[in-house]
Amino acid sequence: MIHDPNRIYVFDTTLRDGEQVPGCQLTTSEKVEIAKELELLGVDVIEAGFPISSPGDFESVVQISKAVNNPIVCALTRANQKDIDAAVQSLQYAKHPRIHTGIGSSDMHIKYKFNSTRQDILQRGVDAVKYAKKYVEDIEFYAEDAGRADNAFLAQMIEAVIAAGATVVNIPDTNGYCLPHQYGAKIKYLMDNVQNIDKAIISVHCHNDLGLATANSLAGIVNGARQVECTINGIGERAGNTSLEEIVMVLKTHQSLGKHTHINTKRFYDLSAKVSSMMHMPVQPNKAIVGKNAFAHSSGIHQDGFLKHRENYEIINPEDIGLDQSEIILTARSGRHALKHHLERLGYLAEKINLDEIYERFLAVADRKKEIKDDDLLLLMGADTKSNYKDGVTIKLLQVMCGDPLIPTSIVKLDMKDGIHEATSSGNGPVDATIKAINKIIEKEVIIKDFHIDAIHGGSDDVSKVNMRIIYNDKNYTGYGFSSDIVQASANAYLDAVNKFI
Ligand code: KIV
Ligand code: ZN
């Protein structure tokens, strides 16, 4: 095999370092589901768990080993035989097994965690690697708290574990303490001072206590590390780990670094949302790459510049991370250019409207509301959403059955150009059943991308407003509907969007 020195291996620890965060625990089948997604994403290593820690973790490593084919499946241990035995057993079905064993390397850990000496700790690390090597060829050694370890001792330890058989040496900044130049220098020191470093790959594993995890990982890579340990959305102990999507996009965006991964970045957005919802860990809106606002432009100056040329205000194409478009948010700080953009999107022809006059009215509304949505714009334009599409498809009848123990079912009659059509469908809920029944009639391949329900005042007798964005033939269409019946409001919004292309 030709060895590519510029390939950076991606080691995902969402299911180990990420999953150990309180509230993030997953069932075995959920972990398997995420592991399969990680395989599709193209990660090189999946750290599947810490088998000795619980029967659940053990079982997860077993099931993930069975479920994935391409990535290495890795199990964590401490530097003792009992942990290693459990890891070996849990990895019995892995096509490419790896044991990740290790011990503390900073004087702080040696003294206050192990109450031991440097020499004893080094020997325990070597013994663990030798023991694991009897069962598994691929052994990764972690020198815990390497960020605060003395470089000369760290180099001695790393040289000894490589001689004992370690194939990968992990230099964790366990406490997120290092500054990027310090961490980079540490990796360079090891590259320069560990005699047998060419026999192993250096891995970086950085925590985010000072918000420097991605910067530190990058500094490590620039100085010779060839594996990066990270998690989806940067979840992990305390302030988290290096975020997988950030470090991969840094390398992709800065091609001058000459480093690349085998990650399919187009899967980022959906996988981030999946991990966030399964682990009950919301993604902060301003999170780099996958945050809700990462591709949303809200100030007038930025919106104008963005609309003139996307790259004025975007260094990443949203399609590269799986988002089909950027967002121009209409607020009181938006200018005419952004307003015109949205009106055109809603079907108003620029030459037929008096933009200055509409902009004055827009500002009056925007001053009272945080964000102006499509339905606000339609009202502003004096549109009655129903009469917008006089020739379009309208609902003649909508009847739903739902509630425990019924299977949600919807009967829909649509008034179309060529007469009345009827369909019945079941679904996950009444809205899903209704959309499916409509789809049976219109026979179009439509994907719903966004679906927002708002109550106008609050209260069970309230009017619901539904905003929807759908994709048909690779184009976006938005729809708006309202009704005191939430299913009817959803059907109205769906047809409002559908009528724009049908
Ligand atoms: O942060 C750390 O040091 C770890 C090791 C167990 C690899 O997670
Ligand atoms: Zn860690």
* 201 and 78 in a common domain: yes
* 297 contacts 303 by C-beta, under 8 angstroms: yes
Determine, yes or no, domain membership for 370: yes
Write down the pLDDT at residue 385: 43
Alpha carbon nearest to ligand 1 atom 7, residue: 142
CA dist 126 and 121 (Å) reads 9
Domain span at 431: 394-498
Closest CA to 97 of 139, 54, 52: 139
> Distance between CA atoms of 449 and 205, rounded to whole angstroms?
35
Whether 450 and 371 map to the same domain: the answer is no
| Interatomic CA distance for residues 135 and 133, integer angstroms | 5
When computed from its CA atoms, the radius of gyration of the chain, rounded to whole angstroms, is 28
Ligand 1 pocket test, pick from 21, 142, 230 with the greatest ligand atom count within 8 Å of Cβ, gives 142
Residue-wise pLDDT for 326-346, tens only, equals: 999 999 999 999 999 999 888
Please indicate whether residue 144, judged by its CB atom, sits closer than 6 Å to ligand 1: yes
Residue 213 lies in a domain: yes
Give the closest residue (by CA) to ligand 1 atom 5: 144
Establish if 284 belongs to a structural domain: no
Output the domain CATH number for residue 93.
Answer: 3.20.20.70
Instruction: Please report whether residue 480 resides in a domain.
Output: yes
In which residue ranges of the chain is pLDDT below 50?
1, 384-390
For residue 333, is it within any domain? yes
Distances (CA, A) of 104 to 154, 157, 249, 290, 483: 10, 11, 31, 34, 62
The verdict on 339 and 476 lying in the same domain is: no
For strands 475-483 and 464-472, give the pairing.
antiparallel
Residue with tokens 């000795």: 52
Rounded-to-integer distance, Cα 336 and Cα 470, Å: 26
349 plus 429 within the same structural domain: no
Element spanning 446, H or E = strand 446-455
One domain for residues 334 and 204: no
| Rounded-to-integer distance, Cα 112 and Cα 459, Å | 57
Determine the distance separating the centroid of ligand 2 and the alpha carbon of 308, expressed in angstroms.
Answer: 44
Answer yes or no: do 378 and 400 share one domain.
no
**Ligand 1 mean position to 53 CA, how many Å?**
15
For residue 14, the CA-to-ligand 1 centroid distance in Å is 12
User: Quick check: helix, strand or coil at residue 94?
Assistant: coil
Rounded-to-integer distance, Cα 501 and Cα 479, Å: 11
Ligand nearest to the CA of 203: 1
Residues 375, 426: one domain? no
Q: Are residues 98 and 152 located together in one domain of the fold?
A: yes
Q: Are residues 79 and 115 in the same domain?
A: yes
Residue located nearest, by CA, to atom 1 of ligand 1: 174
Fill in the amino acid letter for 265: T
Specify if 3 maps to a domain: no
Q: Of 360, 382, 404, at which residue does a domain stop?
A: 382
- Angstrom distance (rounded) from CA 272 to CA 284: 12
> 236 in ligand 1 pocket by Cβ < 6 Å?
no
Atom of ligand 1 nearest to the CA of 146: 3
Locate the ligand 1 atom nearest the alpha carbon of residue 170 and give its number.
7
- How remote is the CA of residue 363 from the centroid of ligand 2, in Å? 49
**What pLDDT does 455 receive?**
65
47 lines ligand 1 (CB under 6 A): no
Question: Which helix (H) or strand (E) element contains residue 72?
Answer: strand 72-76
- What is the distance in A from the centroid of ligand 1 to the CA of 47? 11
What pLDDT does residue 2 have? Answer: 58
What is the whole-number distance in angstroms between the Cα of residue 116 and the centre of ligand 2? 22
From 313, 348, 382, the end of a domain falls on: 382
| Residue 97 Cβ contacting ligand 1 at under 6 Å | no
**Residue 140 beta carbon below 6 angstroms from any ligand 1 atom:** no
440 backbone dihedrals φ, ψ, rounded to 5° = -60, -35
Question: Which of 148, 170, 178, 209 has most ligand 1 atoms within 8 Å of CB, for mutation?
Answer: 170
Prior bond of 405 cis (ω within 30°): yes
Q: How far apart are CA 216 and CA 15, in angstroms?
A: 22
- If one counts every other C-beta atom within 10 angstroms of the C-beta of residue 112, the result is 10
Secondary structure string (H, E, C) spanning 359-425: HHHHHHHHCCCCCECHHHHHHHCCCCCCHHHCCCCEEEEEEEECCCCCCCEEEEEEEECCEEEEEEE
Q: Of 382, 415, 431, which marks where a domain is finished?
A: 382
Ligand 2 centroid to Cα of residue 174, in Å, is 6
Looking at the structure, tell me whether residues 67 and 32 fall in a common domain. Answer: yes
CATH number for position 407:
3.30.160.270
Task: Tell how far the Cα of 493 is from the centroid of ligand 2, in angstroms.
Answer: 46
Please tell me if the CB atom of residue 20 comes closer than 6 angstroms to any atom of ligand 1: no
Name residues whose C-beta falls within 8 Å of residue 439's C-beta, 6 or more positions apart in sequence: 425, 446
pLDDT at 387: 38
389 in any annotated domain: no
Atom of ligand 1 nearest to the CA of 100: 7
DSSP classification of residue 18: I
- The number of C-alpha atoms within 13 Å of 147 and in the hemisphere containing its C-beta is 25
Assess whether the C-beta atom of 172 lies below 6 angstroms from ligand 1.
yes
Question: Are 371 and 447 contained in the same domain?
Answer: no
Instruction: Name the one residue in this structure whose structure tokens are 């095999």.
Output: 1
Domain count of the fold of the chain: 3
Query: Is 180 found in the same domain as 317?
Result: no
Distance CA(125)–CA(486), nearest Å, equals 62
pLDDT tens digit string along 422-465? 999 999 999 999 999 999 999 999 999 888 887 655 566 556 77
What is the structure's pLDDT at 476? 78
Has residue 227 been placed in a domain?
A: yes
